[in-house]
Structure 1
Amino acid sequence: MAPEYAMHGQFSIKSDAWKSWNNGTTTDIIDPTLKTGSGPLHDIFRSVHIGLLCVQEKVIDRPTMASVVLMLNSFSMALPLPAEPAFFMRSNYDPEVPLLQEYNSLTGSGGLGSSQYSVNEVSISDFVPR
């Protein structure tokens, strides 16, 4: 069972893709329109495999962008088996509250400066259509 489902009752795309790939049922997550007439399924399976390599829990196990480009362009290259993906979870998960807004409310800040970044100093963009 995926951790985010156990804690919040929600499945993530990563957990569904991992479960399907691990069970050998990757075709279950492929859009039906891609299954018919979009090319060989092994190309889609390879893309899913590479995607799972990119979301592995241990950062050291994840491929570099140069490696990903090489994997995508070299079909003769054998791919390593992906480990279980990492999951991002918050204990007080509320999908209506963006991370930055939640962080600012917890720290009491809201202006410019370091409060424009999440705790791990990664910027978050919240796009709103006009």
Structure 2
Amino acid sequence: MTDEVKVSIGKEKYKTEVSINQHHLIADEPTEVGGADLGPKPTAFLLSALGTCKAMTMRMYADQKQWPLESVEISLSSEVVKSTQQQTTYIRCIIKLYGDLDDMQKERILKVGDKCPVQKILSNPIIIESNMLQ
């Protein structure tokens, strides 16, 4: 099933409404750059997509293996480094696994999390095609 994602912005500076199927979210920019800080900025949504996907993938794998994973906490941050030839974005994920897991189980869960669908998308070339309807 493909998600129906719609984004709209009106005259209210930077406040953007996001509809994903039956869910409604607001994105905005912080006040220091002219927004009203009514919701997360777009890059935070990107990081949250990666973090939630990794956490869900880890949970699914541990459940499948019947391993005692109690919870997963992931802190994400990003940094853009520009050079004269290219721009590189570094996304850092600090992961805490809770539960009575041995080192092998923790390492395996971590590796499986790196194979989540969102990380696969972000790790491969991306082509964005924009078309205007008349």
TM-score (norm 2): 0.28
Higher helix share: 1
Higher strand share: 2
Structure with more relative contact order (C-alpha pairs < 8 Å, separation 6 or more): 1
